[in-house]
Homo-oligomer: A and B are copies of this chain.
Amino acid sequence: MTMPKHYAIGVDLGGTNLRAALVSEAGEIIEKVRVSSSGDAMSEIEKAVRGLLRDGVKGVGIGAAGVLNKESQTVLNSPNLPEMNGRTFGDLKLGVPVVVENDANAAVLGEKWLGAGKEFDSFVLITLGTGIGGGIFHDGKLMDVAAELGHMSVEAGGLSCPCGSTGCLERYASARAIVDAAIKGLEEGTESLLNDCCGGNKYRMTSEDVFAAACEGDNFARETLKDAGRYLGVGIANVINLLSPRAIVLTGGLIGAWDIYVKEAMKEASRRAFKNLYESTKILPSPLGGDDSGVLGAAALVFNE
C-alpha cells in the first residue's frame, strides 16, 4: 500500500500573466498552466484551478501583486493589477481552502522551502518582472509587512508612478521601465537593432528583446539595460543599509539579463551601500527560475498552514 500523496495548487497572479501549478509536498511541479490574464483574472483563476484539481489537493495558495487584507482575502491596492482592487479571493468557488499572500511574500516562502533561501536565516527577495516586488525573511520568519520595494522612491522628483507617488524604483528598473525607456529612445530616433524587432512594431517589444539586442552588440539596448541596472543597484543599496540581510535573492524574468542588468546593479550597490554591510550580503539569483518560484511559493502557503 502506498501513502496517499498530498498536493497544493499554487497560483501566481503577478504582472501580465497568470500562472498556476499542481505541486507535490516534495516541491515537484506535476503540471502547470500559464494564461495571459487579459480577461477577468478571477474567472481565469477559477478556470486554471479547476483544470488542475484532483484528489489529494489540500488547498489553493494565491500569490497576488499588491497589498492584501489576508483575513478577508481582499486586494486593497495593486498598482499593477488595478482591476483587482477591492476584489475578494474568498468569492472564488473552488471547493478547497484558499490562502492568499502578497506574491513576493509567497515567493519568499518558496525560496526558503526549495530555493536560495534554504541556507539563510535572514534574506530579502526582490522580484524583477513587469513590476518590482519584495519580501523579507528575518530571523527565521517571513515578516508580515508590505515590503513594496518597487514603490520605494529613489528619485524624489522623478517619473510619476501609477501608485500615486513619483520616482518609484519600479519606474526605473522593472521590465516595463526598460521597455518604456527603449520605446522612448526609438521614438526619439535613436539608431538601434530594436527598430527592427517585433516585426517592425516596437510597441510589442519585451525586455527579452532588449536583452537579445544588447547581446548582439547593440549599444542603445545595452545602455538601456545598464541604466535600469544602476537604479536596481540604488534599491539594493537602500535595502542593505536598512535591513543588512545575509542575502538578497533576485527572481523574476529579468534575472535572465543577469550579465548586463544585474552586474551593473551590483557595481552600483557596492558603490553606495556601507562597505562592510555590502560585503556581508550575498547577491544571488533564485535557483527556482523566474517562472516557477511564484507558483512554488504560492503552494508553500498551503503546506505551511
- Chain A positions near chain B (C-beta within 8 angstroms): 67, 76-77, 134, 138-139, 141, 143-149, 151-157, 163-167, 230-231, 234, 237-238, 240-245, 271-277
B77 touches A275 (CB 8 A): yes
Residues in B with CB closer than 8 Å to A241 are: 146, 148, 151-152
Q: Which of B77, B243, B272, B273 is close to A145, meaning CB atoms less than 8 Å apart?
A: B243
Q: How many copies does the complex hold?
A: 2
* Nearest Cβ on chain B to A248's Cβ, whole angstroms: 13
Secondary structure at the A interface, as helix, strand, loop or mixed, is mixed
B153 touches A234 (CB 8 A): yes
The residue in chain B whose Cβ has the minimal distance to the Cβ of A244 is B146
B272 touches A165 (CB 8 A): yes
Complex: how many Å from CA A165 to CA B241? 11
A148 touches B242 (CB 8 A): yes
A145 touches B244 (CB 8 A): yes
Residues in B with CB closer than 8 Å to A230 are: 156
B274 touches A163 (CB 8 A): yes
A148 touches B274 (CB 8 A): yes
Residues in B with CB closer than 8 Å to A145 are: 138, 242-245
User: 29 A–B contact pairs at CB < 8 A?
Assistant: A67-B277, A76-B276, A138-B143, A138-B145, A139-B141, A139-B144, A145-B244, A146-B240, A146-B241, A146-B242, A148-B241, A148-B274, A151-B274, A152-B238, A152-B242, A153-B234, A153-B238, A153-B272, A154-B154, A154-B155, A154-B167, A155-B155, A155-B156, A156-B231, A163-B274, A164-B271, A165-B237, A165-B272, A165-B273
* Nearest Cβ on chain B to A154's Cβ, whole angstroms: 5
B146 touches A277 (CB 8 A): yes
* Nearest Cβ on chain B to A218's Cβ, whole angstroms: 25
Assuming A145-B243, A145-B245, A155-B157, what are 16 further A-B pairs, CB within 8 angstroms?
Answer: A67-B274, A77-B274, A77-B275, A138-B143, A139-B143, A143-B243, A145-B242, A148-B274, A152-B152, A152-B242, A153-B234, A153-B237, A154-B167, A163-B274, A238-B238, A242-B242
